[in-house]
Amino acid sequence: MEAVPGAQSATIWVTTDGVPVNDNNACDDGAKRVIEDASNFGLVHPFGTNLRSTELGPEAVTPMHRTSSLDYNILVSGELILITEDGTETHLKNPGDTVIQRGTMHAWKNPSGTQPARWISVLVAAKPASVNGKSLAPEFVPYRP
């Protein structure tokens, strides 16, 4: 994934053996596991789940992107706007505000001019979303308001 100006993101934990998870799996520390699947821009493990922490600087906007995953996004601090490809905006204003996405083409925007926005995401590997029988591949393109 290309760097996004004003953004920092890190994987906190990765499970790699699928869902349901085997609680007796390898003793490798999930914080040390690497996501090597370039088809989802290194964001989603193709057979498991991962927990990510992201910070988006004031007025920063991510590129539009889609991953083959089910994403649970929970605002921790600041404000965040989810922008979908049809231009719909969902404003997350309070810590704990949550949005769930299923293969949605989207971008994130921090509307604050002074404060970073921070959120936690749980990403679960999924089969690609499909519309009218056509699979929607992962994409990562510049956002153009």
| Model confidence, pTM | 0.78
Burial classification of residue 124, based on how many CB atoms lie within 10 Å of its CB (0-12 exposed, 13-18 middle, 19 or more buried): middle
Q: pLDDT tens for residues 7-55?
A: 777 776 666 666 666 665 555 555 455 555 545 555 666 777 888 899 9
Among 80, 74, 41, 46, residue whose Cα is nearest residue 60: 80
Per domain, the residue ranges of the chain are 7-128
Query: Domain 7-128, what architecture?
Result: Sandwich (2.60)
